[in-house]
Each structure stands twice: as C-alpha cells, then as structure tokens.
Structure 1
Amino acid sequence: MHSFSIILLPLLSLLPSTISQTSGTFNAMTFNVAGLPAILNDNGVPGDKTANTARIGQLFTQYNISLIQVQEDFNYHATLYANDKHPYRTATSGGVPFGSGLNTLSNYEFTDFARVKWNTCSNIDSADCLTPKGFTFMRVKFAEGVSIDAYNLHADAGTTAADTTARASNLRQVSDYITAHSINNSVLVFGDSNSRYTRTGDIPSIFSTANGMKDAWLELVRGGVAPQAGTDALLCDNPSPNTTCETVDKMWYRGSSAVELQAQKFQYAGNMFLQENGDVLSDHDPVLVDFAWTKV
C-alpha cells in the first residue's frame, strides 16, 4: 500500500497540466484614464490627478478585471502601476510628448506585443499630433490553445473635416492590420475611438463590414441596430445611468473557427470608478464587457 501511494501521487500531480480547458469566461475594460499633465489638460475632472490615478489603479485591483486597455496613460503612469496588481502589464512608451498613452493590464499572459503609430493625424481641433498616438496589438493566452488578438486604440479627436478624415484613416489602419495579422483569429478591438455612429463622417462600422466583428454595445443594447447618423440625442452623462446612450469608448469582437467568443453583458462602469466624494476620476466613462469563450 505504501509503494502504491508513492507511485500514485506523482501521477496525480500531472493531471492538471494534461486536462485542457475547453471553455471559460473573462471580462474586458476600455478606460481613458485622463493622464495628460494637468498643466496641459485638466480634463474637467476635479481633484488631484495623481490621487485620482492612484485610486484608478487601486480599483483595477479591487475589481480584478481580466483584461484592461487604457488610453491617455501618460505622465501618471508610474502611479497607476504602483497601485495596480495585475501580473501582466505593458511597459510605458513614455509621457507627453514621447508616448502613445496606450497600455494594457492583464490577468493573462500575452505575446507579440507591438505599438503602431497612426499614418494620419490632425492638429486642427485638438493636439492629436503632439504625441505618437496609434494602436497596440497583442495575442492574449486565456488557456492552453486559446488565444485572442487584442487591439487597443486611441483615434484622432475633434469634429472638423480634417479631424474626421484623420479619424476615419485611423480606423481603416487598424482594420487593415487585422486583415493582415489576425487572419482566422478571434479578435478584440477596444479603446477610445473618438467615433460615434450618430456623427456623420465617422466609420465605427468598419470593423463589422471589413473584419466580420460585432460591436458589443450594438449587439447587447440595441439589438444589432446602429443609431442613425446626424443626431446627438444619444450623448451620455458621466457616469451614465443607462447603456442606451452612446460614448466614443467602444468594444468590438469576433470569434473564430478555433475559439468561439460571445459578449454576454455590456455596461458603462463609471459608477464603479469614482472618487471617495463621488466625483468622477476621468472625463471618460469606462466600458466593461463580460465574455464567454468556447474552444472548438
């Protein structure tokens, strides 16, 4: 009996690594953390930016969100990371004017990380060319044999003709990159698109038409029907008390023949990210989406 136990224990220790996970869930967030230096832009957010950023990092840890993509993570980056405990995080590309402000905090390991600068930017309505804004790419491993390509973007802001043209170019650039680098893969695209379905000239539908993706907000809140362009009736408060309004912060996704992916819940999470006195921490309302995946 004693010798049988000696043999059995090593065999049992091997079981977890030989059993492949075939399904699972995770949640994903996009959050513009308003990290421009206060002297350049206070974002209309009350309070001290360092203190606000520290609280954002603490709340990232408290809620244990699986995959977080942030934008405008510039000059308070060290504070954000000092207060966050996610095990996998991208290294900063620098503050203004050197970095893109794009970073990822994840509970899952990732590979093939790349930063790509926009081909086109505009300074007409906002200083979009001040920093090397663009998008990032990574391949996130959620389980053995289960990887999803994740893109984080921050598109050109403003509403002039030059800004609209630059922003459309930005989204086309990401779409083309997906076509070239994510062939037959499951994909997540999220970030500050600065785009609205309700704004004439914006093209947030490109990921659907060119890359076979779904917008989680359109799918789960609007039954797949995009709002009509030419109206601002769907503008959101911050934080938003409902999900029927539209923000520029968006999340698109698709599954693949290897990994089915399904958005299950969409929410604006601004009420989860407030200062202790109830004030907002950023001028953006973060978007939080729950997903389920199945290995085919």
Structure 2
Amino acid sequence: MMMKHQLLTFLTFCTLGITATAQNKSFTVAAMNVDGMPKSIKVAGIYTVNLNPDAKEAAGATAIGQKLATKGYDYIAVSEDFNYNDQIMEQIGGTYAAGTHRGKINASLAAIANYLAKKPLFDTDGLNLFWRKDAVGVNAEYWTAWSDHHGYDNDGADGLIKKGFRYYLADLGNGQLVDLYILHMDAEVSDGDLAARESQLRQLADDILRINPSRRPKIVMGDTNCRYTRDHLKALFIDVINADPRYTIKDGWVEKCKNNTYPAYGSNALMVDALGYVEGEIVDKLFYINPKYGMQLTLNRFFVDTDFNGADGEPLADHYPVVGKFVAKGTLYDPATYWSGSYDNDAYRAYAQAYDALLPLTRATLKSPLKEELAALLTEHVDAASDITARIAAFRQHLKENMAENYTEDEQTSKLANPSFEQGQRLASGHVEGWTVNPEAMEAFTSGVVDNDEGAAVRDFTLRDGNYIFNTWGGRPAAGFYCRQEVTLTAGWYRLEGTIATDSGFNASLRFGDARLSSGPRYDRHAGCRLELITYHPGGKVIIGAESADWFEADDFRLYRYKAIPTAIESIEADDPSTLRSAQRDAPYLENAQPSTIYDLSGRRLSYPRPGLNIIRNANGTTQKVLIK
C-alpha cells in the first residue's frame, strides 16, 4: 500500500502538470553592496592596508538588516557581505533563508608569505543571496572566481579576496524556475581595471551561453563597477547575449529610465549627483534575459531604493540597492529536452511541458513490470485518466515516429574520458579521472568512484557496467551534485546514453549542453534508469554529464552521432518557398547542412529529419526540401 500511495501521489502530480495552465507570479529582487569590509587589515604587524576607512561596520550592518526586514523583497543579492553578516542575519533571519557565507576578512594576519607573493589572503567572494522562506526558494548554488583581476592591495584591493559571480536556481513555486546570477566585478578605473572588467564580462557571458545554458529566464544583478560611458558593457555583454538566437537581454535601468536607449561609450558620465537616480547611471546593475520560447519575465518597475539612510541622514552604505519588480509568466516548469526546438501547437507544447512528469510512463519504465499497475492506477484513481492516456499515447507515438531507426550512426564514446568510470580508480576520494565534480560535494560529502560491490546500496544499482560506478552520498549540498566533462564535437545530431539512479522522489538528469533529460521522480530507490538524450550540437565545445539535487549514482555513458543520407534534395528560394528549382543530384550527408530549423510539410517543427519530406531552413538563410527514404 505504501508504494501504491506514493505512485498515486506522483500520478496526481502528473495530471496537474498536464492540465493546469501557467500561472503569473509576481516577485521582487534587489541587489545591494552592504559595505561589509573592515576599515583596514594589518599583515604580520608590519603592513597596514586601508580597505574601507568610512565603514560603519557592525552598527551599519545592523541598520541595513533592519531596513531589509521591512522591504519584503523576495530575493536580495548582496556583495561585500564579509565581516558583518551575523548582524544582518540577526535582523532578517526569521523571514529570510541565506546562501553560503564564505567568511570574513580578518583584521590581523600573522602570515606574510601570501601577501608578499600577492596571493589572495581571504577565501571569500563577499557574495550572498537571501530569500523569503514563505514565498520563494532556491534549489542550487555555485560560485566561480573571475579568471582575471587587476590590483592587489591597490586599485580596489581586488586581489586580496576571490571576487567572482554566483549562480542560484531560483524557485518561484508552481514549477517556475529562474537562473539567478549575482556578481561583484573589479573596482577602479585604471587601464588595468578596465581590461579586467572586459575579461570578466566575457567570462560571465560565456558561462550563461556555453557553460551553463538553459531554457529558463535569467536575472543578472550586482555591483558591476561598470558604466556604459567608460566600459564596453554593451558590446561585450548586452550585444553578445542578444546575438544568441536563444535569448534576449535587457537592462532594467535602460528599459525603464532611458527609453531603451543605451548611453554611448565614450560619452560624458551620467553622474547621479547632477542628474538624480532616474537619468543618472550607477554601477549597480539589474539585467534580465528571456529565452526565445517558454516562460517569460516582464519587468514592471525598476528603481533605486534611497531609503537606506541612518538617523543622521547619511547613507548606511556607499551603494543604495537597485530593485526590480517582475512578473513571471509561462510554462510551469522547464521541460527536459528530448527534442530541440519549440512547438507553436498547444498540444505539442503540453507534451513538452509534461515530459519530466510523464517520462517514467514513456521511456524509463516502458518495459517495467510496474507499467500495468501504473495504468491501472491511472484508470482507477485519476479523474483525468482518459486525457492522460490520450496524451501519453500521442507522446509515445511522437517518440516512435522520431526515433532514429532509419538513420545510421557512429559511436563517439571514445570522445568521452572514462565513460564507465573504470579508469583512474579513486575509491570515494573525490578525484574522478576525466570528470569534474562540484567542489562542495567533494569537500562535505562522500563522492567519487566506488566498487560495484561496495555495500547493498551500490549493489542495488541495476544496469551498472564494469567494476566501478560514480557515486555521491551523504546529503544534499546547496549546489546539488554533478559530474561533467567538456568535450569538443563536430556539428551534428547526437544521442547520449547513461544509467542513473537517485533517491525516491527525486530527479537525476543527463546533460548535453543546454539539453537535459530527467529520470522523472524516482519511486524505486537505487534502481538504475537508462536514459537516452537526443539533441543537435552546432559544433565546438559542449558540457556532458549528469546532475541531481540529491545524491545519485551514474555509470556507462555512451555517445553516438547520427548520419542520414537523403536520396534527393530540392532547393527552395528562401524568399519564396513556393518556387522550386529542380536539382536532382547526389546529396552530401545531411550532417553537413547544419540545419537551424526543420519542419514537416504541415509546418510542424521537428527535432531532426525523419523519413519523408522535410523542410530545412539552414543557418545561412537558405531553405531546402529534403526527401529521406
């Protein structure tokens, strides 16, 4: 009865996921530099480094916390949250949860070697995120240091700490997820500082577009130390994001205060003292990025909250918070991508949205003895069983029609390092040959390669291969668990296979670039689930791996690249699809065409060509009609 109850709960969730319409969610974000550095530090009793002579220290942090407690912001991104985090949390801790506080800047250091070698003295980034516990949540956290900075104990003292950016997976409820980036960039205005910020803008854009892409909306906020008039912020970040066909980025201040007109690089600085906080530019920024399809963010209001003053009327910190009021509207959750592209047809969009929930009924348990029991539960207990059944049947038919049975394929597993975890055995040491595992999981939890016979839990991991598997254990780190590697592949359609298991009620996913395929909520702890993710790769570097919010086990990754040989190709004029030019000829492999969008004759977008006639619109603007027999 326990299993039956769990299955019923899961299937009821599936029903809601399919039939419910997307809800609007209003939420507010704020970004503030809380000025948490000490006034100075002393190294070995010899060197004094003045960091923040005007700091209000603990009293200022307490007052900032009291102000924040009254504002009702849903997410608060802070920078320079170093020495007085305790004072802030004392004021807001009853309402807000917090990310990882990475430590303080000690006012006195005995060691001098690192200082003389100009190495970071403090393993902290000063960043953190607070969120209202009763309204929103966070599902993941990781941080990344900037690759370049300028100055050590001068020019902003950027080298004393590990400045960088953080990523959080913000959960608005109802399955609405947003990628949230917070940051603190290089300070000051020397040529070296400007060059460092240019490097940091490139690094941030690369993380958003290539390292950690997704189909979710994104918010990027924090102390950029950038002005459009002196930094190449638009060229290196705004224009780069907008050039990617998957995304559109906006600056909240530019949109709401400057009529969508960006200040010109090299023009006079727009100083707040002269122009005020509407026309004037500050270095604290709030960007938001919408994907081309799916859930969308609308910015209803942007403002600088100048209420953060002390009893003497002076600002509590050297920055006021920037605030954005958003509405999220769209799909209830980010669907796993079994196919690329989007569907304008409502039914196909529903299938895509429901994919994660329906996966155990379509792929993972297709041959499971529980299939009949699941079907019986659907019929017996779910009010919308007929609708569910019809959607499942249509979804299965879609998969069947789009499976690559008529395509040849080349195995590319040799491109993966240590795909079955048989090389470089390090039993639970954290080092996994060829793979990157998130540092937090390595430090705080048991993660690594383990023997197939190491304990009943591992032995229960079905479908494993060889003598060793990848295993994580011991809890749920804030950033979740992942193992991944970066490989370089030629353009084409790929199929990634892998075996994954995780805890009951949790998902584990395969990842290929921005495509993720979830196991669906597991109801059989440790049982292996063989997943196959099919997606198109435009060529170049791509991240491949597995991930989960909870512990997971993984094994036997395999990679294949499809080839399809069309028997005839007819060119179509791009500006007049009705005009055909006969061009029967020997056709090259379809993989060389690098299609950007593929349609059937009814205009429905496809994941990749299937037998019959296909309309292919190439990235260079040409259009082709392809017949595959």
Normalised to the residue count of structure 2, the TM-score between the two structures is 0.42
Looking at structure 1, the residues matched to 39 and 233 of structure 2 have their Cα atoms a distance apart, in angstroms, of: 31
Q: Distance in 2 between matches of 1:233 and 1:154?
A: 21
- Report the counterpart of residue 93 of structure 1 in structure 2: 102
Name 2:308's counterpart in structure 1.
273
> Where does residue 191 of structure 1 map in the other structure?
222
Q: In 2, Cα distance between the equivalents of 1:273 and 1:139?
A: 28
Q: Does 1:290 align with 2:325?
A: yes
**Within-5 A mapping of 1:1-296:** 22-39=23-40, 40-42=50-52, 44=54, 48-85=56-93, 86-96=95-105, 97-107=122-132, 108-123=136-151, 125-179=155-209, 180-199=211-230, 201-211=231-241, 212-237=248-273, 241-256=276-291, 257-270=293-306, 272-296=307-331
The one-letter amino acid paired with 1:147 is L
State the partner residue of 1:3.
none
| Structure with the higher strand share, 1 or 2 | 2
Shift of 1:241: 4.4
Q: Does the residue aligned with 2:158 lie in a helix, a strand or coil?
A: coil
Following TM superposition, by how much is the alpha carbon of 1:285 offset from its aligned partner in structure 2, in angstroms?
2.1
**Counterpart contact for 2:76–2:130, Cα < 8 Å:** yes
Unaligned runs of 5+ in 1: 1-13
- Give the SS at the match of 2:178: strand
Farther off after superposition, 104-113 or 77-86: 77-86
Q: Distance in 1 between matches of 2:84 and 2:302?
A: 28
| Residue of structure 1 equivalent to 2:416 | none
Instruction: Check 1:127–1:41 CA distance in 2 against 1; reply closer, same or farther (3 A cut).
Output: closer
Deviations 1:229-266 (A, max 9, x none): 2244411239x843110000001002232211011111
The Cα shift of 1:42 comes to 3.2
The 1:120–1:210 alpha-carbon spacing in structure 2 relative to 1, beyond 3 Å, is same
Q: Is contact 1:195–1:204 with CA below 8 Å preserved after alignment?
A: no
Q: Which amino acid aligns with 1:113?
A: E
Tell me the distance in 2 between the aligned counterparts of 1:84 and 1:279: 22
Give the match's secondary structure for 1:274. coil
Distance 1:193 1:102, change over 3 A: same
- What is the alpha-carbon distance in structure 2 between the residues aligned to residue 173 and residue 23 of structure 1? 33
Whole-angstrom CA distance in 2 between matches of 1:64 and 1:209: 33
Q: TM (normalized to structure 1)?
A: 0.87
Over the residues paired in the alignment, what is the CA RMSD in angstroms? 2.2
| DSSP 3-state at the match of 1:242 | helix
SS in 2 for 1:170: helix
Q: Which has the larger Rg? A: 2
Superposition deviation, residue 193 in structure 1: 0.4
- 8 Å Cα contact 1:24/1:293 also seen in 2: yes
CA contact (8 A) 2:51 2:157 kept: no
Contact 1:31 1:70 in 2 (8 A): yes
Change (3 A) 1:205 1:213: farther
Change (3 A) 1:190 1:205: farther
Task: Please report how far the alpha carbon of residue 111 of structure 1 lies from its aligned counterpart in structure 2 after TM superposition.
Answer: 1.7
* 8 Å Cα contact 2:37/2:57 also seen in 1: no
> Structure 1 residue 99: deviation in Å?
1.0
Contact preservation (8 Å) 2:31, 2:323: yes
1:237/1:83 CA distance change after superposition, 3 Å? farther
- Cα distance between partner residues in 1 of 2:235 and 2:321: 20
Distance 1:287 1:237 in 2: 17
User: In structure 2, how many angstroms separate the alpha carbons of the residues matched to 1:43 and 1:105?
Assistant: 27
Task: Extract unaligned runs of 5+ from structure 2.
Answer: 1-11, 41-49, 106-121, 242-247, 332-629
Q: Distance in 1 between matches of 2:183 and 2:277?
A: 24
Per-residue Cα deviation, 1:57-85 (whole angstroms, up to 9, x for no partner): 11111111111100000111111111113
- Contact kept, 8 Å, 1:207 with 1:252, in 2: the verdict is no
Report which structure shows greater RCO (CA 8 Å, sep ≥6). 1
| 1:20–1:144 CA contact under 8 A, matched in 2 | no
How many residue pairs match? The answer is 277
CA offsets 1:185-207 (integer angstroms, 9 cap, x no match): 200000000101011x4324533
**Structure-1 separation of matches of 2:320 and 2:67:** 14
Q: CA deviation at 1:284?
A: 1.0
**SS of aligned partner of 1:112:** strand
**Is contact 1:175–1:210 with CA below 8 Å preserved after alignment?**
yes
Q: Distance in 2 between the 1:293 and 1:195 partners?
A: 28
Distance 2:172 2:213 in 1: 17
